[in-house]
Structure 1
Amino acid sequence: MINFRTLADDHPDLAHSPLLRGALLTLQYAQKHGSIGLTKTKAFKRVFVHWAVEHFDWPGKSAEEMFRYNKVINEYEFTPLEVLHFLMISLRLGRHFKGEFRLTKRGAELAQAPGRLFAELVPYFVFQTDHASYARFGDRPFGKWHVWMNVINVEADHGTTEAALFETFYGEPEVWHTAGWREMAAFSSCVLRPLEWAGLLIETREDDFGKPVCHVFKTPLWRSALKLETDDMLRPKSVQ
């Protein structure tokens, strides 16, 4: 069973969640300006998309990188914002009305309550969103969140790699130029990336003698927010 602990609004570990940060910024922007303009297809207008790119501080999506090759960015080109838009409508934090995104009463309340917003937003995003729908290839990995998270809780406690986690669940990992690379991509896109966006994992990449390696670590937010069945299997870090 996966349980999220209730965190105070000023809990410092909430700062690790890009998803929460993006949601707070969007809700507070709409609150300050009265609304956010929508296109005819009900996406956020470019003026807000550009603002979001500059302010979200999204991992791997810095404003410098995003604007290097594209001076004009649409919502669908900034996937985190597109996902957040869907989540806020689904959770009734905002609604579309006469060509604008406007906060609901609930959305206005949670815009000033990070702890409560995290409790509403992150479990829904991780467990009830179809992550394959916004992944590059649309493939889904075999498995369930209950198993993934309890195993990751142990395997990544002192740090691990993406390949090692894949091997734990599915056997010997395939290298990216073989036929099995799509299975690894699906696991990365639909399990590891949502947990990183939620702020529960952090991934770092480095080149190891010409071979890219992705390291995976639990953030302090994982430890403070989650209560898992495998918690009693965790070992304290050794003191040097």
Structure 2
Amino acid sequence: MIALSPVHNDDPALALSPLLRSTLLTLDYIETNGPIGLTPLKALKRYFVQWAAEAFVWPHYTAEDLYYLNKVLNEHDFLPLMVLHDVMLGAKLVRHYKGAMHSTRLGKELRANPGKLWAVLTNYLLCVVDHSKYTRHGDQLVGTWDIFLNVINVEAHTGVSEERLCSVLFGGEEEEFRRHDYQLAASFYIHVLRPLCWAGLLEEHRIGKALEQREVYTKTPLWVAALNLETDRHLREPTRH
């Protein structure tokens, strides 16, 4: 578990979490429309996937992005929804029953307490979900959240690239991670950077296009509100001109 400071329900920083926003939309959908149908393989049925693609407006996974690659949408075509389904089920916010996904008592209680709901979702996404199944080779990553968060806390104070973070954490030159050791960089993204972005603690800025595209990460107000880290004492306010 990661020690998260309590975030007030009315804190506007919570709106920065795609994970929380989409969970609330899903719980609201069930409350309004009833349980969500499941396929024989227990995936969410296509009608909900299509609704979610439009309603979630998930960064870098918008309906426009998804339909550009797929004529119709199934759950496995919308990766954030797959992960969200796993997180909500594992955190016992929903359950499968008689071919449909229902809200649990806990899900209904936390729906009215978004600050606590965010903490439950974030800890499950970061500390329980096995992200290796989303990597090409099932890669595991060596390191702890205490190390990752404290390093990112300093490096991302004014914006940092994936390659710079890999260089600081694992050694080696930044250019090597960009050109040659991209498997480790990709694993770090899937295990650490992407979950932090989906939780709303980091924001990913994509600069450039195609092979020239680079990603820069900055901390969000939710990071400041929810995390109290050892390296906070090393931070300085960025210079403004």
TM-score by length of 1: 0.94
Question: SS of 1:4's equivalent?
Answer: coil
2-structure distance, mates of 1:222, 1:44: 31
Deviation at 1:22, TM superposition (A): 1.0
Write the mapping of 1:20-169 to structure 2, written as runs, cut at 5 A.
20-169=20-169
2-structure distance, mates of 1:26, 1:170: 38
1-structure distance, mates of 2:146, 2:49: 35
Q: How many residues are aligned here?
A: 238
Residue 199 of structure 1 is matched in structure 2 by 200
- State yes or no: 1:181 paired with 2:182: yes
- How far does the alpha carbon of each residue in 1:81-105 deviate from its partner, in whole angstroms, 9 at most, with x for none? 1111111111111111110101111
Letter in 2 for 1:226: L
- Asked whether the equivalents of residues 35 and 103 of structure 2 are also in contact (C-alpha less than 8 Å), the reply is yes
- Asked whether the equivalents of residues 2 and 228 of structure 1 are also in contact (C-alpha less than 8 Å), the reply is no
Deviation at 1:136, TM superposition (A): 3.7
2-structure distance, mates of 1:27, 1:201: 24
- Asked whether the equivalents of residues 2 and 227 of structure 1 are also in contact (C-alpha less than 8 Å), the reply is no
Residue 3 of structure 2 is matched in structure 1 by 3
Deviation at 1:204, TM superposition (A): 1.1
CA RMSD of aligned residues (A): 1.7
- State yes or no: 1:233 paired with 2:234: yes
1-structure distance, mates of 2:79, 2:90: 16
TM-score by length of 2: 0.93
Deviation at 1:68, TM superposition (A): 2.0
Question: SS of 2:140's equivalent?
Answer: coil
Q: Structure 1: any 5+ residue segments left out of the alignment?
A: none
Letter in 1 for 2:214: V
Letter in 2 for 1:22: S
- Asked whether the equivalents of residues 36 and 102 of structure 2 are also in contact (C-alpha less than 8 Å), the reply is yes
- Asked whether the equivalents of residues 140 and 187 of structure 1 are also in contact (C-alpha less than 8 Å), the reply is no
1-structure distance, mates of 2:105, 2:229: 33
- Asked whether the equivalents of residues 37 and 101 of structure 1 are also in contact (C-alpha less than 8 Å), the reply is yes
Question: SS of 1:3's equivalent?
Answer: coil
- How far does the alpha carbon of each residue in 1:155-196 deviate from its partner, in whole angstroms, 9 at most, with x for none? 111111111111101122325453x22111111111111111
Deviation at 1:154, TM superposition (A): 0.7
- Asked whether the equivalents of residues 122 and 199 of structure 2 are also in contact (C-alpha less than 8 Å), the reply is yes
Letter in 1 for 2:11: H
Letter in 1 for 2:220: T
Deviation at 1:145, TM superposition (A): 1.0
Q: Identity across aligned pairs (percent)?
A: 46
- How far does the alpha carbon of each residue in 1:59-116 deviate from its partner, in whole angstroms, 9 at most, with x for none? 1101111112312111111111111111111111111111010111111111222111
- Asked whether the equivalents of residues 161 and 213 of structure 1 are also in contact (C-alpha less than 8 Å), the reply is yes
- Asked whether the equivalents of residues 163 and 178 of structure 2 are also in contact (C-alpha less than 8 Å), the reply is no
Deviation at 1:197, TM superposition (A): 0.7
- Asked whether the equivalents of residues 95 and 102 of structure 1 are also in contact (C-alpha less than 8 Å), the reply is yes
1-structure distance, mates of 2:237, 2:43: 47
